[in-house]
Chain A
Amino acid sequence: MISMLLRNRHAAFALAALFWLALWHVGSVLVGEEILLVSPLAAAARLFEMLQTPVFWQTAGFSLLRIMGGFLLALLSGILLAAAAYRFKLAHALLAPLTGAAKSVPVASYTILCLVFLRARSLPLIIAFLMTLPIVYDTLLEGLRNTDRKMLDMAKVFRLTPLRRLRAIYVPQCLPYLVSSAGVGVGIAWKAGIAAEVIGLPQGSIGARLYETKLYLDMRGLFAWTIAVMLLCFVLEKLLLLLINRAARALERM
């Protein structure tokens, strides 16, 4: 029975998730102190309560708009910068140290630096942008560099226009790289964005709510907000990948 279920990818995922939820529940029962480890049922109940309040949606909307705004800005900038670096050696030389350094700068450093110059409200947008940009840039540049040389020779011989080269050669060959960077990037944007909110405490953000759960030792709230962020991130990632694939197909059909 189980081996049959494991053959189905979605069923296998659901089974594994159930296993870990059960383990979490057993752990919380054994610990016996909600302040140390809340049970999944209690966290789900708290999340359900929160979902029915307007504050939850306002808070989620605040962070979602800024984090996804920063992510989309990074996606667009990453595409343009990778294209520039692929085409112009000078652009690549100029960007190489910047993107190399950006990858290893801690979120906290960026956040503190940004707080000097910016209002806390714009923090999640800027941090999501800064943390996602190098990922999109690097991955897409690698994709562009791995474009089939033989297809580019074909394009040269047949004198394909830049637009035709883009839709017939570059888009299909770089799409897997773009999808991969977008998938990883959404997760990073949310993690970094929320971390920045916890440090900068912009009013009405998820990060500020998480900070409050720490102040009041509200473990139920902490887990409920964490699950909410995970769900938002999951749904937005799937939606985004769907949109990217559709846009690429539309461009190919042009």
Chain B
Amino acid sequence: MGDIVLSGVYKAFGDKRVLENLSHTFEGGKVHGVMGPSGCGKTTLLHILLGLLKPDAGTVSGIDLNALSAVFQEDRLCERLGAGANIRLAAPHLREKSALKALFDEMGLGGAEKTPVYELSGGMKRRVALLRALTAASELIVMDEPFTGLDDAIKETAAACIRRHLDGRTVILVTHSEGDVFLLGGTVGLTLPLL
């Protein structure tokens, strides 16, 4: 996995400037925290990295759009499908029930594989979203406040599971808590200013 390079990235919504002349290099295979005050453009930056938004100026290089996965700010799960079916949607290679069960156990979700998402608690949904991002074939995982709604003990379990399954992939993590970055063994390499 190579480096991801942002060069002079500029993005505005109407008159509101969100990102201005942003240049930064995310080293491949590492966990990178992106921090900054509310409204500074962290989520916008993630959407640019995911190819969901185009920068008005500047370039982003080093990302294969066919090798991405993400934990969005909201869970974005298919509510009527089972938790396991949600994982398989993004990770069709995960056919064996035992492999899926082992992952659910590791994430502290044992027995919830067939439970429809609408019956899960907020914290459980979040962990299903984390598992989906981990299991999808990818080189870069983008995470937007991945531990929202998880208490400290569950957060530790989830972080340990994520660390075990990163397999050298690059992670770019947006968070308000430096501790979340450290939990995943990363460093805060970029702090965005409020424009």
A157 — which chain B residues lie within 8 A by C-beta? 50-52, 68-70
A161's nearest neighbour on chain B, judged by CB, is B92
Q: Please report the C-alpha to C-alpha distance between residue A159 and residue B92 in the assembled complex, in whole angstroms.
A: 11
Is there a chain B Cβ closer than 8 Å to A151's Cβ?
Answer: yes
B90 — which chain A residues lie within 8 A by C-beta? 158, 160
B94 — which chain A residues lie within 8 A by C-beta? none
Is there a chain A Cβ closer than 8 Å to B121's Cβ?
Answer: no
Report A179 CB to chain B, min CB distance, Å. Answer: 15
Is there a chain A Cβ closer than 8 Å to B102's Cβ?
Answer: no
Report B68 CB to chain A, min CB distance, Å. Answer: 6
Chain B binding surface SS class = loop
Q: Please report the C-alpha to C-alpha distance between residue A168 and residue B70 in the assembled complex, in whole angstroms.
A: 18
Q: Please report the C-alpha to C-alpha distance between residue A160 and residue B76 in the assembled complex, in whole angstroms.
A: 14
A168 in contact with B78 (CB, 8 Å): yes
Residues of chain B touching chain A, judged by Cβ–Cβ distance below 8 Å, are: 50-52, 66, 68-70, 72, 74, 76, 78-81, 89-90, 132, 136
Report A167 CB to chain B, min CB distance, Å. Answer: 9
Q: Please report the C-alpha to C-alpha distance between residue A169 and residue B80 in the assembled complex, in whole angstroms.
A: 10
Report B55 CB to chain A, min CB distance, Å. Answer: 17
A154 — which chain B residues lie within 8 A by C-beta? 70, 72, 76
B132 — which chain A residues lie within 8 A by C-beta? 158
Number of cross-chain contacts by CB at 8 Å: 39
Q: Which A residues from 68 to 99 make CB contacts under 8 A with B?
A: none
Report B117 CB to chain A, min CB distance, Å. Answer: 11
Contact with B along A187-200 (1 / 0, CB 8 A): 00000000000000
- How big is the A interface, by class? 10 to 19
B72 in contact with A150 (CB, 8 Å): yes
Could you list some 11 contacts between A and B, CB below 8 A? A151-B78, A153-B52, A153-B72, A153-B76, A154-B72, A156-B51, A157-B69, A158-B70, A159-B66, A160-B89, A172-B78
Having A158-B70, A168-B78, A172-B78, one finds 20 other A-B pairs with CB under 8 Å, namely: A150-B76, A151-B76, A153-B72, A154-B72, A154-B76, A156-B51, A156-B52, A157-B50, A157-B51, A157-B70, A158-B69, A158-B89, A158-B136, A160-B89, A164-B89, A168-B81, A168-B89, A172-B80, A252-B80, A252-B81
A165's nearest neighbour on chain B, judged by CB, is B89
B69 — which chain A residues lie within 8 A by C-beta? 157-158
A159 — which chain B residues lie within 8 A by C-beta? 66
A252 — which chain B residues lie within 8 A by C-beta? 80-81
Q: Please report the C-alpha to C-alpha distance between residue A154 and residue B144 in the assembled complex, in whole angstroms.
A: 13
B74 — which chain A residues lie within 8 A by C-beta? 150
Report B1 CB to chain A, min CB distance, Å. Answer: 17
Q: Please report the C-alpha to C-alpha distance between residue A168 and residue B80 in the assembled complex, in whole angstroms.
A: 8
B53's nearest neighbour on chain A, judged by CB, is A153
A172's nearest neighbour on chain B, judged by CB, is B80
A248's nearest neighbour on chain B, judged by CB, is B80
A169 contact from B66, B78, B136, Cβ within 8 A: B78
* 7 nearest A-B residue pairs (beta carbon): A158-B90, A154-B76, A168-B78, A157-B70, A172-B80, A153-B52, A157-B50
B50 — which chain A residues lie within 8 A by C-beta? 153, 157
Report A126 CB to chain B, min CB distance, Å. Answer: 37
B80 — which chain A residues lie within 8 A by C-beta? 172, 252
Q: Please report the C-alpha to C-alpha distance between residue A46 and residue B90 in the assembled complex, in whole angstroms.
A: 61
Q: Please report the C-alpha to C-alpha distance between residue A150 and residue B47 in the assembled complex, in whole angstroms.
A: 11
Q: Please report the C-alpha to C-alpha distance between residue A164 and residue B69 in the assembled complex, in whole angstroms.
A: 16
Report A173 CB to chain B, min CB distance, Å. Answer: 10
Q: Please report the C-alpha to C-alpha distance between residue A159 and residue B167 in the assembled complex, in whole angstroms.
A: 21
A158 — which chain B residues lie within 8 A by C-beta? 69-70, 89-90, 132, 136
B51 — which chain A residues lie within 8 A by C-beta? 156-157
B66 — which chain A residues lie within 8 A by C-beta? 159
Report B60 CB to chain A, min CB distance, Å. Answer: 15
Contact with B along A128-166 (1 / 0, CB 8 A): 000000000000000000000011011011111000100
